[in-house]
A and B are shown apart, each in its own frame.
Chain A
Amino acid sequence: MTQTPDYLLPLPPAAFHILMSVADEERHGYAIIQDVEARTDGDLRLSPGTLYRSIQRMLQQGLLVESRRRPAAELDDERRRYYRITPFGTATARAEMRRLTQLVRLARARGLTPETT
């Protein structure tokens, strides 16, 4: 890939969540859904269609790869495919974080606060 990490910015929220979800460990599709749901306290529940379309695109974009390593046999389900983040995925996620942080900083500087008054 010759693309720079900010080539794909801004990331769709679903894609960012998926990257976060597989940042630390490989996960299969349904595990990603559950992870995202848990981390957002149930606010975001990805539908399977959205998830797999995102995954398909992110595979093409080189943000994810399908993992060839499988967990121990007793934990594995034959049908399941596991995904892990690529270095490009990590770089892109970082770039997206930078972008968002900067955005928030700018908003703060303008005196905007998230708290409702």
Chain B
Amino acid sequence: MTRFYRALLHLYPAGFRAEYGDELAAAFAQRAREHTGPLAPVILMTNAVTDVVPNALAAHVDILRQDLRYTVRGLRRAPGFALTAILVVALGVGANTAAFSLADFVLLRPLPYPEPERLVKIWQAMPGYGQMEFSPANLRDVGAVATSFTGVGAYWEGAVNLVGDGEPRRLQSVRVTPDLLPLVGVGAFIGRVLTHADSAGEPAVVISHGLWQGHFGSSPGVLGRTVRLDGVVHTVVGVMPPEFHFPARGIDLWTPLVFSAANFEDRNDNYLDAIARLKPGGTLEGAQVELDQIMARLELEHPAELKDTRAAVWRMQDEISDRARLLVLALCGAAFCILLLACANLASLLLARGLHRARELAVRTALGAGRERLMRQLITESVGLAAIGGLVGVGIAIAGLPLLSQLVPASLPIADHPTVDLRVLAFAAALIAITGLAFGIAPAMRAGKGGSLDALRDGTRTSGGRRQRLRSALVVLEVVGSIVLLVSSGLLMRAIWKIQAVESGFRTDGVMVMRTALPMPKYAPVAARERFYGRVLEDVRGLPGVASAAYVTGLPMDMRGGIWPVQIAGNEVRREGDNTASLRYLTPGFFSTLGIPIRLGRDVNAGDAQDRPYVAVVSESFAQRHWPGQDPIGRRFGFALGERTVVGVVSDVKVRGLERTSEPQVYLPSAQVADSSITSYPPKELVIRSTLPAEQWMPAVRRIIAAADAEQPISNVRTLADVVAGDTAARRVQLRLLAMLSAIALVIAGVGIHGLLSFAVSTRTQELGIRRALGAQVGTIVGMVLREGLTLAAIGTMIGIALSFSVGRGMSALLFGVPATDPVTIAAAAALCLVTAVVGCVRPAIRAARVDPMSALRE
């Protein structure tokens, strides 16, 4: 019984137990003697527990409160130390919280659909094209026999014009096969999702929560209302929940995708994105094997069209480009680096403080404070610092989150910027605890050990040798970290410069672009489109300041695909890498508007009408590939369902963006296509080159378009320069972040070097005084201090450079051919680091030089 009580007493803080343990036990024993009876032991024990537990807790809280008070008092006496420590922790925790919230949001969290791990994306695959959209016929055949899935659905992204009350609007829409939304598994917010019943009858539409709020004023009466989409009447049957995005964010509405018999004719009409749901327990590998078998069987049935066609399948969750993933991971790596530096610095600061306070601690030990009590005090201090710094850091992270939104790939069905939620806060709390405990315990242990009387005997000459070495190692670590970050961001900066030096092939200055996507049944006849283009362009060209204007299918770096196979005299049609080109329809004047030089022949012109021989303007690389060393003018080739004659050659354009290789380009006159054929390619981008600011003529352009077709919305108004900037936007954000982190690292390293040296100088005042007294010159003393700091910086720099080679290799996909060993970058990083080190050395060196021999000796 007494043993039980003694054990219970361990709940009290050790100091309290040592002081009153015996008394408490005696009181308990006395009470035990007074109580008799069969239930006595139970009563006694219950009483003991209900007494000890709350009192022990309260005793701990008392101590904590005391320690906190002591900490606050101590920190107030050393505000420099406190602020530095808080700042360092804030930077470390802030950077990591922000990076984690992004990584968690983009990479870790499952997609916001039920059982997302069973949702997969399936593709056709063939040599040269690892992922190709399905054609309706192939998908129908796969869906009919595949047993790996509970269902297969498809969608096709597009945009529609919503005409009704108010100005016509351009909306992002997705056509989905009726079984797709049930397959994804998210129910409607109000009304219902599309189902099989919607394959026939009046077209239905499901709208997004955003559109419901923005356009329909959140009215529940929206169900059953009709809207005109591209001229076709649709009935609203449902509104999706606010957080629902599919297949990516920014989709306004979903309409049924219904196929006619004609859609199934061409097996190479690939435009469907396909989604399937694995059967419970089904594996990705199993699905892959089955799909390949099915495609192989289809190839046997259609050997010409489906030569070498197979399938690819991956989890929808993994539908994020390697580059986007790498961008996020690089950020996390950099943030982690900062955390390490912050921890190293905190440990170093605490060590130095412990050394400074060795005397104070020794006095307190001598006065009877137990070692456990002192350690507890020190840990309270480090955790307290970490907590304050951490809170500031979380604040920084929250403030910085909008900056990170550019790194959230738009292809994911999630909101556009991460939020700080409980997971993220828990992560931050863990970081704070680790920082405060792990890096507080070591210095505390040392301080606890050092609580001997040695420290009392001599205040200044402390046994600091080993600690000094440990701190030196920490400074080296800080330099290593800064070098790695500096080199990484330097390499990325070089990569961006290199990318920006790449010739896009066109000029952006003074060019505005806007989109008027013509709705389809209405503008299916080519003549109707030509009338629209003709009217708009003629009036726009007449505006003051407008030098030229034209219509084109899609803008380079904005529309990156649109790749068609090329057929040249007897070659069979192959859709392979060396036999494709990008297809753009355009009106006369496009090349002059974008400043694309015509090398040979002519631009398309008004004479290239629907009933005239089909012509084409091709890029130099196209001519070079198919007719090397020969005159391409007058050559013929098959492209986009027709036989074309080359009438002009223009220089190449980076259609796929500055960083990627682009297919050769083929430009066709907007009129030379059959009615109702290739209906997703009619020119929709209006490009205008002008010498006056756009504000001056934009209203007139809007009036001109409204006059040509009052129901035609205008969307995506921007400068061509913005389109090109969008190509490198994610990169520039990442560079900015990494540069910021490098700067932080540099500051931390500088502070670390400075702190170490100032401390070294202050503990060596006596030694320096003796040296001066013995005749050492000021220069010698300053040199000594500088040498100490710079040696550490040099060691750190060398290790850092070695380390950054491997980091650079890991990032090579982002470096656009800049080698990880780029000497300019490395030299710049090393120089920057050494300058920081020198700056960190200056004040301690001056202090060392100012040591007065007489007073130093007298102390």
Contact = CB atoms under 8 A, between A and B. Distances in A.
A77 B22 CA distance: 12
B47 interface: yes
A90 B788 CA distance: 62
B55 interface: yes
Interface in A56-90: 56-57, 77, 79-81
In this complex, the member of B22, B23, B52 whose beta carbon has the largest number of chain A beta carbons within 10 angstroms is B23
Contact of B51 (A49, A79, A81): A49
A29 interface: yes
A97 to B, nearest CB: 26
Given A29-B23, A57-B62, A80-B23, A48 B16 contact: no
Contact of B27 (A29, A53, A56): A29
B171 interface: no
Nearest to A55: B20
A16 interface: no
B56 interface: yes
Interface in B40-75: 47, 51-52, 54-56, 58-59, 62
A47 B30 CA distance: 13
Contacts of A51: 27
A81 B62 CA distance: 22
Contacts of A80: 23, 26
A55 B59 CA distance: 12
Given A47-B47, A47-B55, A57-B62, A52 B26 contact: no
Contacts of B20: 52, 55-56
B49 to A, nearest CB: 10
A77 B30 CA distance: 12
B23 A47 contact: no
Contacts of B47: 47
A7 B185 CA distance: 67
B24 interface: yes
Interface residues of B, number: 20
Interface in A4-28: 28
B797 to A, nearest CB: 53
Contacts of B55: 47, 49-50, 53
A47 B16 contact: no
A57 B30 CA distance: 24
Given A56-B19, A56-B20, A49 B52 contact: yes
B28 interface: yes
Nearest to B24: A48
Given A49-B56, A53-B59, A56-B19, A77 B51 contact: no
Nearest to B9: A49
A52 B23 contact: yes
Given A47-B55, A49-B52, A50-B55, A56 B16 contact: yes
Contacts of A56: 16, 19-20, 59
A48 B62 contact: no
Nearest to A54: B55
Q: Is the interface of A mostly helix, strand, loop or mixed?
A: helix
A93 interface: no
Nearest to B22: A79
B506 to A, nearest CB: 81
Interface string B802-826: 0000000000000000000000000
A52 to B, nearest CB: 4
A33 B47 CA distance: 15
A40 B62 CA distance: 28
Q: Is the interface of B mostly helix, strand, loop or mixed?
A: helix
Contacts of A57: 62
Contacts, number: 49
A48 B22 contact: no
A33 B23 contact: no
B631 to A, nearest CB: 102
Nearest to A51: B27
Nearest to A33: B27
A28 B28 CA distance: 14
A80 B30 CA distance: 12
Contacts of A79: 22-23, 26
B22 A30 contact: no
Contacts of B52: 49
A97 B55 CA distance: 27
A30 to B, nearest CB: 5
A81 B20 CA distance: 9
Nearest to B20: A52
Nearest to A47: B51
B16 A81 contact: no
A77 B23 contact: no
B62 A30 contact: no
B51 A30 contact: no
Contacts of B31: 48
Contacts of A33: 27
A47 B50 CA distance: 9
B70 to A, nearest CB: 13
A48 B19 contact: no
A74 to B, nearest CB: 18
Contacts of A53: 16, 55, 58-59, 62
Nearest to B23: A29
A29 B21 CA distance: 12
A30 B16 contact: no
A51 B30 CA distance: 15
Interface string A84-106: 00000000000000000000000
B51 A50 contact: yes
A52 B20 CA distance: 7
B12 to A, nearest CB: 8
In this complex, the member of B16, B31, B55, B62 whose beta carbon has the largest number of chain A beta carbons within 10 angstroms is B55
A49 to B, nearest CB: 3
Contact of A30 (B27, B58, B59): B27
Nearest to B55: A49
Contacts of A49: 24, 51-52, 54-56
A93 to B, nearest CB: 22
Contacts of A81: 23
Contacts of B27: 29-30, 33, 48, 51
In this complex, the member of B24, B27, B54 whose beta carbon has the largest number of chain A beta carbons within 10 angstroms is B27
Contacts of B59: 53, 56
Nearest to B5: A48
B34 to A, nearest CB: 10
B47 to A, nearest CB: 7
A68 to B, nearest CB: 16
13 contacts: A30-B23, A30-B30, A47-B55, A48-B27, A49-B51, A50-B55, A51-B27, A53-B58, A53-B62, A56-B16, A79-B23, A79-B26, A80-B23
Q: 6 closest Cβ contacts across the A-B interface? A: A49-B55, A47-B51, A48-B27, A49-B51, A52-B20, A30-B27
Interface of A: 28-30, 33, 47-53, 55-57, 77, 79-81
Given A49-B55, A79-B23, 10 more contacts: A29-B26, A29-B27, A30-B30, A49-B24, A49-B52, A53-B16, A53-B59, A55-B20, A56-B19, A56-B59
